[in-house]
């Protein structure tokens, strides 16, 4: 693993994505840090790119906002020109190319792109040099070791979205409990062939209470 990748693992954030049999889950927490300072407690790190695409972000806020706007604009142009949604793999390749063009003066980011298309659900992990790796589940940011610990133990290939929401909430809670750079609430979205749906804060709280968290 490159030194750049090692540095990005230290980014003060926790993000995750996972593929379920009936949808894709993407999730983040809300804390933004500057060293040991908690700079913001309601930072947006989960972006709706299109009705079938979501982007989870870790890294420098300015870079993340610019990249989310780039991708959203290109996805919208694709839909207008072709009257069809951009496939998830194509969106991941596009973002990979944008990142790679700046690998010698990189965007300081780590991204997870999740979405649903005619081929089903997909999750891609993207690094600052343009690497794009598909997987059934992945995590990023400083809290990712704790997320991976939960997902490695409890993720199943045939799990439903309902099970996935609970697992995402459990994994994010584990990360926020041990990683001081992650916290201040959880954002979770479900993407399937019908919609992009954000899970309410109240529903997440209720689910965590039922799990004893």
Q: DSSP assignment of 107-146, as one string?
A: --EEEEEEEEETTEEEEEEE-TT--EEEESEEEESTTHHH
Mean pLDDT score, 110-130: 96
Q: Is 13 a catalytic residue?
A: yes
Q: Is the pLDDT of residue 143 over 70?
A: yes
**165 DSSP assignment:** H
Mean pLDDT score, 11-15: 82
The 10s digit of each residue's pLDDT in 201-213 is: 999 999 999 998 7
Instruction: Give dist(CA 118, CA 84) in Å, integer.
Output: 11
Instruction: Give dist(CA 75, CA 149) in Å, integer.
Output: 34
- Range of 108's domain? 3-210
**94 DSSP assignment:** H
- Which residue from 142, 124, 170 is spatially nearest to 13, judged by alpha carbons? 142
- Which residue from 181, 24, 177, 15 is spatially nearest to 115, judged by alpha carbons? 24
Weakest mean pLDDT among 92-101, 103-112, 159-168: 103-112
**Do 151 and 145 contact (CB within 8 A), yes or no?**
no
Weakest mean pLDDT among 12-16, 89-93, 136-140: 12-16
The predicted structure's pLDDT at residue 182: 86
For residue 114, give the 3-state DSSP assignment.
Answer: strand
The predicted structure's pLDDT at residue 209: 94
The predicted structure's pLDDT at residue 32: 81
- Higher pLDDT pick, 30 / 7: 30
**Do 33 and 10 contact (CB within 8 A), yes or no?**
no
Quote the mean pLDDT of the chain: 91
Mean pLDDT score, 133-161: 96
Tokens of 200: 């309410």
- How many other β-carbons are positioned within 10 Å of the β-carbon of residue 152? 9
For residue 126, the domain's CATH number is 3.60.20.10
Identify the active-site residue in 11, 13, 14, 173.
13
**Do 147 and 18 contact (CB within 8 A), yes or no?**
no
Q: Is the pLDDT of residue 17 over 60?
A: yes
Q: Which residue has the tokens 């194509």?
A: 90
With bands split at pLDDT 50, 70 and 90, how would you rate the model's confidence at 43?
confident
Give the number of domains in the chain. 1
């Amino acid at each position: 693993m490159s030194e750049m990748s090692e540095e990005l693992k230290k980014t003060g954030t926790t993000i995750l994505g996972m593929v379920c049999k009936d949808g894709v889950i993407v999730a983040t927490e809300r804390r933004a840090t500057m060293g040991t300072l908690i700079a913001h407690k309601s930072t947006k790190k989960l972006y709706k790119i299109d009705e079938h695409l979501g982007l989870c972000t870790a890294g420098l806020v300015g870079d993340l906002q610019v990249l989310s706007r780039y991708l959203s604009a290109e996805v919208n142009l694709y839909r207008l020109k072709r009257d069809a949604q951009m496939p998830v793999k194509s969106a991941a390749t596009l973002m990979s190319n944008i990142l790679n063009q700046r690998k010698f003066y990189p965007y300081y980011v780590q991204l997870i792109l999740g979405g649903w298309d005619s081929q089903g659900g997909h999750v891609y992990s993207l690094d600052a040099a343009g690497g794009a790796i598909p997987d059934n589940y992945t995590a990023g940011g400083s809290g990712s070791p704790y997320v991976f610990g939960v997902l490695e133990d409890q993720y199943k290939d045939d799990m439903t979205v309902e099970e996935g929401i609970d697992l995402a909430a459990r994994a994010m809670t584990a990360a926020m409990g041990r990683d001081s750079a992650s916290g201040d609430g959880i954002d979770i979205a479900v993407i399937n062939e019908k919609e992009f749906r954000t899970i309410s804060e109240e529903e997440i709280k209720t689910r965590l209470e039922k799990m004893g968290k």
